[in-house]
């Protein structure tokens, strides 16, 4: 298994390479709970986390928001009763970069903090 959750995001600017199809297949195996939908031609990573109530989903959204600030890479967060949907992609390249996979793995690792 990869150590994606232990890696840091690198600065990414317009013109940085998107992940290749081969990299996508390899990296998706590291985050099996995530999907890679394409919206308006932009490949993204998305996962829906379910919780027993709004308060738990809200607490998790705060953890993800702090992670995003710490790494300076920001997702779309959709908070609903008992659910948080997290969507990562790199706006600067209009698609997926390795940073998005790092952040997805780090997001998954935050679940342990919520239960602590």
> For the chain, which residues make up each domain, given as ranges?
19-115
pLDDT (tens digit per residue) in 80-95: 999 999 999 999 899 9
Q: pTM, whole model, 2 decimals? A: 0.92
Instruction: Please state which CATH number belongs to domain 19-115.
Output: 3.30.1360.20
pLDDT (tens digit per residue) in 38-73: 999 999 999 999 999 999 999 999 999 999 999 999
Facing residues of 78 across strands? Answer: 85
The count of other CB atoms within 10 Å of the CB of residue 86 is 24
Cβ(86)–Cβ(40) below 8 Å? no
């Amino acid at each position: 298994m990869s150590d994606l959750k232990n890696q840091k995001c690198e600065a990414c600017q317009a013109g940085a390479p998107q992940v290749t199809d081969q990299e996508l297949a390899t990296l998706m195996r590291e985050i099996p709970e995530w999907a890679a939908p394409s919206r308006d031609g932009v490949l993204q990573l998305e996962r829906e986390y379910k919780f027993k109530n709004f308060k738990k989903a809200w607490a998790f959204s705060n953890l993800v928001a702090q992670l995003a600030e710490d790494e300076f890479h920001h997702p779309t967060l959709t908070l609903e009763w008992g659910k948080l949907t997290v969507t990562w992609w790199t706006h600067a390249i209009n698609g997926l970069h390795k940073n998005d996979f790092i952040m997805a793995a780090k997001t998954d690792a935050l679940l342990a903090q919520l239960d602590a």
